[in-house]
Amino acid sequence: MKSRTMRTRSSLAKVIGVLTVGLVTSCVPPIGDTTPNTTGSVPGIPSGVAVTGSTISTISVKWNAVAGATSYTVYYTLDGSQPGANNYADYVSDLTTTSTVISHVTSSYGQPIEIAVTATNDNGEGNASAMVAGSTLIPTNVVVTPADSGKFTVTWSAVSGAASYNVYEKNSALDSAIGPTETAYGKEITNVSSPFHWVNAAVGHYYRFAVSAVDASGNEGGLSQVGTAVAQ
């Protein structure tokens, strides 16, 4: 299997834990909570939170500086739920100063990543901004075209920054659902390009293909929507 810095391989209900610079021990403020904080002169809520760009493996986020803040925390989830103090499995956090890049977060099956920001100083962490949505770059327009004698052609739209693509394949005699994670597929074919040709398919079986993009450093993005066809 190829290497990469960080890769989400489980279902969307599982995220990769908590990634911090320093130890985050305080309770996470509710997302979008504008209730005044009475614990001291903590910073206000960051404004202007916006996604400024995406690559195969990163999302760039910016926000306006908050008076009195010495650092900021970016929270993000893969399922749109609000991070909570007793729900660490639902978010990842990363501390920075004025802006951040959320690195190597896959957004499998087109699921957006929800992002919120807090500001912190010596008096504590302020309340969180409202969430904004972002997504890493994934292949789109996946089309599976069957041909005679158990052959398929799989095509997709190019992804900016992709050095190659990986194709994931699954087949069955029944048109059953398949999950969005790589482990749900029977085969992984690496270092391919569009159009991709698949042969020796079992006639009458359903075949499903999903595609991910890989950059020049070996970082792999999330999976595309699934393309399905029946072998002829």
Instruction: Give per-residue pLDDT as tens, 127-183.
Output: 888 888 888 888 999 999 988 888 899 999 999 999 999 999 988 887 777 766 667
- The band of 29, judged by pLDDT with boundaries at 50, 70 and 90, is low
Among 177, 194, 105, 189, smallest CA distance to 142 is for 194
What is the average pLDDT value for the chain, to the nearest integer? 74
94: helix, strand or coil:
strand
What percentage of the chain reaches a pLDDT higher than 90?
22
Query: How far is 191 from 195, CA to CA, in rounded Å?
Result: 12
pLDDT tens for 31-74 read 555 454 545 689 999 999 888 888 888 888 889 989 999 888 88
Among 141, 140, 115, smallest CA distance to 58 is for 115
- pTM for the whole structure: 0.68
Looking at per-residue pLDDT, the higher value among 210 and 89 belongs to 210
According to the model, what pLDDT value does residue 11 have? 28
Q: DSSP assignment, residue 2?
A: -
Q: DSSP assignment, residue 128?
A: B
Bridge-partner residues for 197, per DSSP?
Answer: 153
Place of tokens 């957004």: 107
Query: How far is 112 from 88, CA to CA, in rounded Å?
Result: 19
* List of residues 6+ apart from 36 with CB closer than 8 A: none
pLDDT at 210 over 60: yes
Q: Which amino acid is at 114?
A: E
Q: Domains in the chain, start-ordered, CATH in brackets?
A: 1-136 (2.60.40.10), 143-230 (2.60.40.10)
Query: How far is 173 from 106, CA to CA, in rounded Å?
Result: 30
Query: How far is 60 from 79, CA to CA, in rounded Å?
Result: 19
Query: How far is 94 from 78, CA to CA, in rounded Å?
Result: 15
Pairing of strands 71-77, 113-121: antiparallel
Phi, psi of 82 (to 5 degrees): -80, 130
DSSP 138-165: -----EEEEETTTEEEEE----TT-SEE
pLDDT at 18 over 50: no
Looking at per-residue pLDDT, the higher value among 110 and 149 belongs to 149
Q: What is the CA radius of gyration of the chain?
A: 21
Query: How far is 143 from 227, CA to CA, in rounded Å?
Result: 6
